Amino acid sequence: MKNMSIALCAVTLAVAASAQQQGIINNAASEHVKLKSVNIGDCQWTDGFWADKFKLCEEVMVPHMGELLKGDVGFAYDNFKIAADLKEGMHQGMKWHDGDFYKWMEASIYVYAINKDPAILKDIDECIEVIGKAQADDGYLSTQTQVPMKKQGKQERWSNRQLHEMYNSGHLMTSACIHHRVTGQDNFLNIAIKHADFLCETFMPCPEELKRFGFNQTQIMGLAEMYRETGKKQYLKLAEQFINRRGTSGMEPADFASYKFIGDMVQERTPLRKAKEAAGHAVLALYYYAGAADVYAETGEKALIDALDRMWDSVVNHKMYITGACGQTHHGVSSKVDMVHEAFIADYMMPNSSAYNETCANICNGMFSYRMQSIHGESKYGDIVELVLYNTLSGISQEGTHYFYTNPLRRTFDKKMGITDYADRAPYIPCFCCPPNLVRTIAKSSNWAYSLADNGVAVNLYGGNKLATKMLDGSELKLKQESNYPWDGAVKITMESCKKDAFDVMLRIPAWAEGTTIKVNGKDAGIKATAGQFATVSNAWKTGDVIELDIPMEAKLMVGNPLIEETRNQAAIKRGPLVYCMETPDLPKDTSILNVYLPSDIKLKPSTDPRLTDGAVTLAGKVLLYDDEQDAMYRTLENKPKMKKLQTQFVPYYAWSNRGTAEMSVWLPLVWE
C-alpha cells in the first residue's frame, strides 16, 4: 500500500504540474467551463474593504480559531490525537468536528499562499502528521467512529449516516488539494489519496446497505477536486455515482424512526435530474448542487446542467433572502410534506424573525453561484457571489472572534432563542461548522475576484487589489485595481504588464448598477454598460493603460414580490451590494424596533459611526416613530396613528450587533408620503 501511494503521488505531481491553473477550483482542463480560476495567490487585496478583512483574518481570525480548535474549548485537534494514540480520552464535539478542523486548515493555507509565513506551514505540517497517524490502515478516517464518543459511546463505521463520515471526507479531500496546490507538498495529499481510494473500494460497487450514504455531501466536491488533482477517473466516477443514487433507493417504514433525516430533508425524495425545486436542509442541498456543478464541468451532461439551472433559479428567484441568505426555517415541512430542518420551504414563504439562514447555507449559496458563473460565463451568478460575500459577514464580529450561526432579518428582545440562536455573537458555538466556513471564505475571497476567459480576463469583484497571473494562452498579465468599493463606486484598473496582442477585459456590471459608465485612458470607451451583464472591453493593451468604471452607489428602497406576505407594505434599504438595517442603538431608549416606520420619500445620506471599527458607511435619514403600547392581539383602529420624525441612521446588515445587545430589522413598514 505504501509503494502504491508513492506511485500515485508521482502521477499526481505530474498531472498537477501539467495543469496551467491551480485555483480554488482547478478547472483549467475542464472542457465545460467558460471562465477558469486564477492561481491561488495570484490576486491579493491591497487596500480597502477586503484588504482590511483579509488582514483581520490573517492576524486574528485564523490564529484565534486555531487556538480554539486545538484547546480545551474546541478540542477538535485532540480527537485526532486520541485516534492516533498520542493522547488518552474520548471524542468530544459534534460528529462533523473533523470537517471543522479541515476547514480551518484550508483557511490557514489560503493565508499562507499570500504571506508565505513559514510558521503557518510548520503548524499545518504538524497537524498533517497527527492526522496521518490517526488514519486507519485501510484509509478510513473519521474520529467520531475511531474514538468512543463522550455521550454516545463507541460508534461503528457506516452505522448511521448522521455520523457525517462523508462530510468529513469531503472537507479532508478539498483541504488536501488546496494544500498541495499552494505548497507543492504531498504529505496531506497522500492521506487524501489513501482515503479516496478507500471510498472507491467501499462504494464501487456499492453494497445495498450503503446506497443512501452521503448525508451531507461535501464528498462530491472533494472527489471532483481529487480527480482534477490526480487525474484518477475513478474519483470522478464515484462522485457522479453519489449524485446518481440520490432519490433512487426508496424509503423503508423503518426509516421513519429517524424521520428528520429522510426524503426531501436530505434531497433523496426526487432524483436531482428530475427535481423541480430546491428542497430540504439548505446546507446539504447547496453543497450537493455545488458538487454536481463540479461533476458537470468535467462531463458536460445536459440533463445535469438543466437540473442545476432549475435549482439555481429556484433558490435565487423563489427562496433566497434579499441578503443572499438561504434556509427559511429552523423546522418545517417540504412541499411533499416531509419534515425538514434548517431548510428551504415553499416559494415566497420568507419569515423575517424566524428566518434561519445558517451562515454555512449562505456561504454554500456563494459557492454554488461561483461554479455556475464559471460554467455559463454570465455575470448574474457573480452578483449572487458578491451579495453573499458582503452580507454573510454578519456571521462574525468586527473584532473577528465571535460568531452567529443563524442570520435572521428581524430580531426583537422577546425572541425565544433556539439551540443555535444567540442574542449576541458567541465566542464559541458547539455546532462549530459555520465559523471556519466563513473564515476560509474570507481567506480565499481574492481568488473569486478574477477569472480567465478564452482570450481575456473577467473582473468579478471590485476593490483594491493586484493581479499577477498567466492567461490561458500562457502570456503574463499584471494589473492593479484601485477602489474604495463598496463605499464608493469609482474603480480604476491599470495595466502593468500584458501581451501585445488584443485581448478582452470583461467587467461585471451588477444588476443594480444602472447608469455605470466606462472610460479607457480618460475617454468614453464607447461600450454600453448594461446592468446585469459583463461589459467586454477589447483592446491591444499596453503598460499604463487605464480602465475606469463609475458605478452609481445610490441608496435605494427595495420591495419584495407581492407573493411574499412577510414583506407586504414594507421596504428594505440597499446600497450597492450591501443591505442595510435599523438597529435599536440608533433609537431612543426603550423604543421597540417594531415601532419604526419608513417614509417612502426618505432621503438617505452616507455617514459614519466610530463605533463600527471597519469604517463602514452608514446611511443617515429621518424615520417615523409610532408610540404603540397595545398588548392585545387585535384591536380597533380608532384614529389615524400619531407619528413623530426622528433623525437616525441605518447600518450595514453585516455590522449589526456590534454595539451591544440590540433589536434589529431589515424590513420596515412603509408610510407613503
Per-residue pLDDT reduced to its tens digit, 494-510: 999 999 999 999 999 99
Q: What are 306-331's pLDDT values in tens digits?
A: 999 999 999 999 999 999 999 999 99
- pLDDT at site 8: 41
Nearest CA-CA partner of 123 in 69, 55, 85, 82: 69
Confidence (pLDDT) at 162: 85
Strands (E), 471-525: 476-483, 490-497, 503-509, 517-520, 523-524
Could you tell me if 470 and 456 are in contact, meaning their C-beta atoms sit under 8 angstroms apart?
no
**Higher confidence at residue 460 or residue 263?**
460
Give all strands (DSSP E) within 338-437, no chain letters. 339-344, 410-411
Rounded Cα distance between 214 and 294, Å, is 17
Rounded to 5°, the CA angle 390-99-275 comes to 70
**E strand or H helix that includes residue 538:** strand 533-539
Cβ–Cβ under 8 Å, residues 283 and 15: no
The percentage of the chain sitting over the pLDDT mark of 90, rounded to a whole number, equals: 82
CB 486 within 8 A of CB 578: yes
Of the chain, the percentage scoring pLDDT greater than 70 comes to 95
Domain ranges of the chain: 450-550, 555-671
**CATH numeric code, 450-550:** 2.60.420
Task: Residue count of the chain, please give it.
Answer: 673
Q: Is residue 491 within 8 Å of 548, Cβ to Cβ?
A: yes
Nearest CA to 290 out of 185, 388, 203 is that of 388
Work out the pLDDT band at 549, boundaries 50, 70, 90: very high
CA separation, residue 371 to residues 18, 291, 378 (Å): 22, 9, 11
pTM over the 0.85 mark: yes
147: left (phi over 0), alpha (psi -120 to 50) or beta: beta
Residue 170 has pLDDT above 80, yes or no: yes
What value does the mean pLDDT of the chain take? 93
What's the first-to-final CA gap in the chain, in angstroms?
Answer: 76
Q: How far apart are CA 196 and CA 194, in angstroms?
A: 6
User: Each residue of 50-89: pLDDT tens digit?
Assistant: 999 999 999 999 999 999 999 989 999 999 999 999 999 9
Looking at residue 259, its pLDDT comes to 53
- φ/ψ of 578, rounded to 5, equals -95, 130
User: Using H for helix, E for strand and C for coil, what is the string for 173-215?
Assistant: HHHHHHHHHHHCCCHHHHHHHHHHHHHHHHHCCCCHHHCCCCC
**457 against 630, higher pLDDT:** 457
Q: What is the pLDDT of residues 243-279, one digit of tens each?
A: 999 887 665 545 444 556 788 888 988 999 999 999 9
For helices 282-299 and 233-245, give the axis angle rounded to 10 degrees.
130
Residue 338 has a pLDDT of 86
Q: Are 389 and 448 in contact (CB under 8 A)?
A: yes
Instruction: Kindly list the distances between the CA atom of residue 53 and the CA atoms of 402, 489, 537, 544, 579, in Å, as whole numbers in the listed order.
Output: 15, 19, 30, 29, 18
Kindly compute the dihedral angle of the four CA atoms of residues 34, 37, 38, 43, in this order, to the nearest 10 degrees.
Answer: 120
- Nearest 5°: CA angle at 473, between 469 and 477? 30
Taking CA 573 as the corner, what is the angle to CA 568 and CA 579, rounded to the nearest 5 degrees? Answer: 110
Peptide bond connecting 351 to the previous residue in cis, omega within 30 degrees of 0: no
C-alpha atoms less than 13 angstroms from C-alpha of 140 in its C-beta half-sphere: 16
pLDDT digits (tens, 9 = 90+) for 135-157: 999 999 999 999 998 777 888 99
Comparing 15-29, 187-201, 225-239, which segment has the lowest mean pLDDT?
15-29
**Whether the bond into 205 is cis, omega within 30 of 0:** yes
pLDDT value for 26: 85
User: Quick one: cell of 336?
Assistant: 411533499
Question: Residue 460 pLDDT > 70, yes or no?
Answer: yes
Q: Is the dihedral of CA 600, 636, 351, 428 positive or negative?
A: positive
Q: Residue 14 pLDDT more than 70?
A: no
Cα 662 to Cα 600: distance, rounded to the nearest angstrom? 25
Residue 542 DSSP code: -
3-state SS class at 481? strand
Query: How many other C-beta atoms lie within 10 A of the C-beta of residue 26?
Result: 26
Res 503: pLDDT: 97
Strand 280-281's sheet: what is its strand order? 280-281, 339-344, 329-333
Phi, psi for 659 (deg, rounded to 5): -130, 40
- Name the residue type at position 614: D
Average of pLDDT values for 360-375? 98
Look at residues 499, 628, 604 and name the one whose alpha carbon lies nearest to residue 554.
Answer: 604
